[in-house]
Amino acid sequence: MRLWSLHPSLLDARGLVAVWREALLAQNVIRGKTNGYRHHPQLARFKRGKDSKAAIACYLRAIYDEAERRGYSFNGSKIIGKGQVARMAVKRGQLAFEWAHLKSKVRLRDPEWFEGLRGRRRIRAHPLFVVVPGDVEPWERGQRLRRAAE
């Protein structure tokens, strides 16, 4: 499961579809609708918040909005909840880690999209997150890519 801290506009088509599906799974986990993935490290930051159900709904909404912008047909009725939630922090090191990880994935699966990413100097965070100083999050498992981000 990868719940990107990056802005959904940075994800290639396969990445956007994948994060939609994984965030829907995360929504089910947070709502207690599945037994699997309950302790997945990617969910830690959502569970820390005051309203994890609203947070995952806001996360999904931004992905849905990007899909709509691109003309994709995601089913927005799958997003449960409409309440607003306070923005959550993401560390600058985590964002850099994910940026390197995304580029390594996209370089192989969508070289044209990768070319569009290469020239970007500013890494945008998902609208749910506000960027704060700090390193890669302790819940991040990608040790090999962590070293690449340093």
Q: Does 110 reside within a domain?
A: yes
Phi, psi of 96 (to 5 degrees): -65, -40
Residue 42 structure tokens = 């990617």
pLDDT of residue 143: 52
24-76 pLDDT per residue, tens: 999 999 998 887 777 777 888 888 877 899 999 999 999 999 999 999 999 99
Q: Does 56 reside within a domain?
A: yes
Q: Does 83 reside within a domain?
A: yes
Tally of domains within the chain: 1
The angle that helices 92-109 and 13-30 make with each other, rounded to 10 degrees, is 130
For 87, the domain range is 8-149
Query: What confidence tier does 146 reach under pLDDT thresholds 50, 70, 90?
Result: very low
Q: Does 2 reside within a domain?
A: no
pLDDT, average across residues 119-146: 83
Report which of residues 87 and 14 the model is more confident about: 14
Cα(62)–Cα(23) distance, rounded to whole angstroms? Answer: 11
Q: Does 3 reside within a domain?
A: no
The DSSP output letter for 18 is H
Q: Does 71 reside within a domain?
A: yes
